[in-house]
Amino acid sequence: MQVRVLKLKKEIKLPQYQHNGDSCVDLINAGEDVLIKPFSRQLIPTGLKVSIPEGYELQVRPRSGLAIKKGITVLNTPGTIDSGYRGEICAIMYNSSNETVEIKSGERIAQMALCKVEKINWEEVEDLDQTVRSEGGFGSTGTHS
């Protein structure tokens, strides 16, 4: 699918898939180097604006390498970017570690996927169909020894 993108700086590269079969493209820090203190968050710009087709959303997700190596994740995972939004894509990065972490300009900070969105037509009913699980949730399946 072709998606229109506006780069806010000429030197920024278009998002790319790193390997065949990848579902996400990497996003970079298009701003200055930034320090994220322990247990704090920072909004980091990507330098991209996107024209998302109607019926789709972009989802910003953490990178597993940053999460395991530095304790950095995307705070509102997944971050949803609606098809009507035309502002710069930014990522809310969170430092879950005990150390201050530096995110350098140009560093890969998150990944992004284009996802189809189905619209819901709600039907109000008096009762719902029964299932084996019923209302069991939040650990209701227990643990097995």
Q: Is 42 exposed, middle or buried (0-12, 13-18, 19+ CB in 10 A)?
A: buried
Mean pLDDT value of segment 80-95: 98
Answer whether CATH 3.40.920.10 is correct for domain 4-116.
Answer: no
**pLDDT (tens digit, 9 = 90+) per residue, 22-79?**
999 999 999 999 999 999 999 999 999 999 999 999 999 999 999 999 999 999 999 9
Confidence bin at 144 (pLDDT 50/70/90): low
Query: What is the pTM (predicted TM-score) of this model?
Result: 0.85
The pLDDT of residue 133: 78
E strands present in 1-145? 4-7, 25-28, 34-36, 41-51, 56-61, 72-74, 79-81, 88-95, 101-103, 108-116
70: enclosing H helix or E strand? helix 64-70
How far apart CA 92 and CA 73 sit, in angstroms, is 8
**pLDDT (tens digit, 9 = 90+) per residue, 97-121?**
999 999 999 999 999 999 999 999 9
Tokens of 133: 């699980």
- Structural domain spans, the chain: 4-116
How far apart CA 42 and CA 45 sit, in angstroms, is 10
